């Protein structure tokens, strides 16, 4: 499986993770391939700084030594890292921008769902409509300020616009067949400071072919443009 490299130096490695690839060894089947296993022959030991769900594509940051790992972890803990996701969702929001602050609790069990719970942990996601497709689908930008498990997916489900093909949250069907057959969620951009130089960095992962083809398909189906994405 090809893993596009967006940036590399002696401290960090930034890749565009393909959909369908585990970030870490699968807890139920450790023989399945995962990101570090595939990268190791070329890049050696790598330290994970954050994770993406198996079926989520997009920007992923790894550290190349323990000192860089600690420095990057501090940024995530301080919530100074800026994460931007693109999601193709069901329905057309009645709003253009919205901030969701529903608290979340990790649920147990093999499916490892996360649920909205007033006694759960603080969670905040800023949402913005990028495109509207005939009232049936929309392309949303999601910027999570906290890092709860499945946060973007759960918050979108909670406001009535679940991600297309989400097997855990708000599964729906449609009469309009779409090219994308997996979770329609893409980690579009990641912004942080270099762990050694403190230089501000930002990396954008292009939409993968299935995601891009779905947007083209929906555009042909009929759409109304909303606000353009913020400058990257």
Does pTM top 0.75 for this prediction?
A: yes
Task: Report the alpha-carbon distance of residue 152 to residue 87 in Å, rounded.
Answer: 9
Model confidence at 232, pLDDT cuts 50, 70, 90, reads very low
* Helix (H), strand (E) at residue 82: strand 82-90
Inform me whether the pLDDT recorded for 230 exceeds 50: no
Cβ burial, residue 228 (10 Å; 0-12/13-18/19+)? exposed
> pLDDT per residue over 104-117, tens digit each?
998 866 567 899 99
Model confidence at 66, pLDDT cuts 50, 70, 90, reads very high
> pLDDT per residue over 117-171, tens digit each?
999 999 999 999 999 998 889 999 999 999 999 999 999 999 999 999 999 997 7
Burial call 187-216: b when 16+ CB within 10 Å, e when fewer: bbbbbbebbeeeeeeebbbebbebbeebbe
Task: Report the alpha-carbon distance of residue 91 to residue 160 in Å, rounded.
Answer: 8
Q: What's 124-161 look like in SS3?
A: CEEEEEEEEECCCEEEEEEEECCCCCCHHHHHHHHCCC
Inform me whether the pLDDT recorded for 174 exceeds 80: no
User: Are the CB atoms for 186 and 216 separated by under 8 Å?
Assistant: no
Average pLDDT for 23-44: 86
Inform me whether the pLDDT recorded for 225 exceeds 80: no
Q: Which of 72, 88, 196 is nearest to 133 (CA)?
A: 88
Selected residue with higher pLDDT from 15 and 226: 15
User: Are the CB atoms for 104 and 118 separated by under 8 Å?
Assistant: no
User: Are the CB atoms for 13 and 62 separated by under 8 Å?
Assistant: yes
pLDDT of residue 222: 59
Inform me whether the pLDDT recorded for 62 exceeds 90: yes
Inform me whether the pLDDT recorded for 211 exceeds 70: yes
Among 3-7, 20-24, 97-101, the least confident range: 20-24
Selected residue with higher pLDDT from 170 and 17: 17
Domain boundaries, the chain: 5-225
> pLDDT per residue over 74-93, tens digit each?
999 999 999 999 999 999 99
Percent of the chain with pLDDT over 70: 92
Inform me whether the pLDDT recorded for 52 exceeds 70: yes
| 5-225 maps to CATH 3.10.105.10 | no
Residues with a catalytic annotation lie at 53
Task: Report the alpha-carbon distance of residue 89 to residue 92 in Å, rounded.
Answer: 8
Inform me whether the pLDDT recorded for 227 exceeds 60: no
Give me the chain's average pLDDT, please: 91
Q: Which of 156, 142, 162 is nearest to 84 (CA)?
A: 142
Distance set, CA 43 to CA 46, 48, 75, 149, 216 (Å): 7, 13, 23, 28, 35
């Amino acid at each position: 499986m090809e893993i596009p490299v967006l940036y590399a130096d002696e401290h960090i490695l930034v890749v565009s993770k393909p959909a369908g690839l585990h970030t870490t060894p699968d807890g139920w089947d450790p023989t399945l391939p995962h990101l570090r296993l595939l990268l190791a022959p070329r890049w050696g030991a790598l330290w994970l700084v954050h994770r993406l769900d198996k079926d989520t594509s997009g920007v992923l940051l790894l550290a190349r030594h323990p000192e860089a790992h600690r420095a990057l972890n501090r940024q995530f803990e301080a919530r100074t890292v800026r994460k931007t996701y693109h999601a193709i969702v069901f329905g057309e929001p009645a709003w253009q921008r919205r901030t969701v602050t529903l608290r979340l609790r990790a649920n147990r069990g093999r499916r490892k769902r996360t649920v909205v719970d007033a006694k759960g942990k603080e969670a905040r996601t800023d949402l913005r409509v990028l495109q509207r497709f005939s009232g049936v689908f929309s392309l949303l930008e999601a910027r999570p300020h906290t890092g709860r498990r499945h946060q973007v997916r759960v918050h979108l489900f909670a406001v009535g616009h679940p991600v297309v093909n989400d097997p855990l949250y708000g599964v729906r069907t449609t009469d309009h067949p779409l090219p994308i057959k997996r979770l329609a969620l893409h980690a579009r951009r990641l912004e942080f400071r270099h762990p050694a130089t403190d230089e501000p960095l930002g990396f954008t992962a292009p939409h993968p072919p299935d995601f891009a083809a779905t947007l083209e398909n929906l555009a042909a189906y009929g759409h109304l443009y909303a606000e353009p994405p913020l400058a990257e």
